[in-house]
Amino acid sequence: MALYSVWDVKGAQAPKPHERVLKIIMSPETTGTKELTLLASIIPPNSTTGNHTHEGCEIMYIAHGRGEFVLAGRRTPVQADQVAYAPSGVAHEVRNTGEESLKLICFFYPPLKAEGLMKAATEAALGR
């Protein structure tokens, strides 16, 4: 299928202190997409993705809400209809500083490996 509905994809809940729901929309494991991983990350107020890195780059479209994007220690306010970019290997984090959920649509190239929370989100997307 070439059309995917985020609301139809089951997600995996990340525990505190980095509480959020991850929904794998497209990945090699879920849709056979070999080029990238696409996921939605829904972050409740006062939560965060946690500071982390990836082997590849990440592009984050802020679909809803307000927050703060931290890249290599530099903080920048973000809001809906903005895009944040984290190069490969550079520490980054998104914090929800607003009063409602912050929704990110995240593109990863190359695709993420289905490990840890990503594995749980992949299993949820596959209905397992």
* Domains, in order of start, for the chain: 11-125 (2.60.120.10)
Check pLDDT > 90 for residue 53: yes
Total-model pTM: 0.91
In DSSP notation, 97-116 reads: -SSS-EEEEEEEESPPP--T
- 3-class secondary structure, 58: strand
Which residue has better confidence, 124 or 105? Answer: 105
Q: Which amino acid is at 122?
A: T
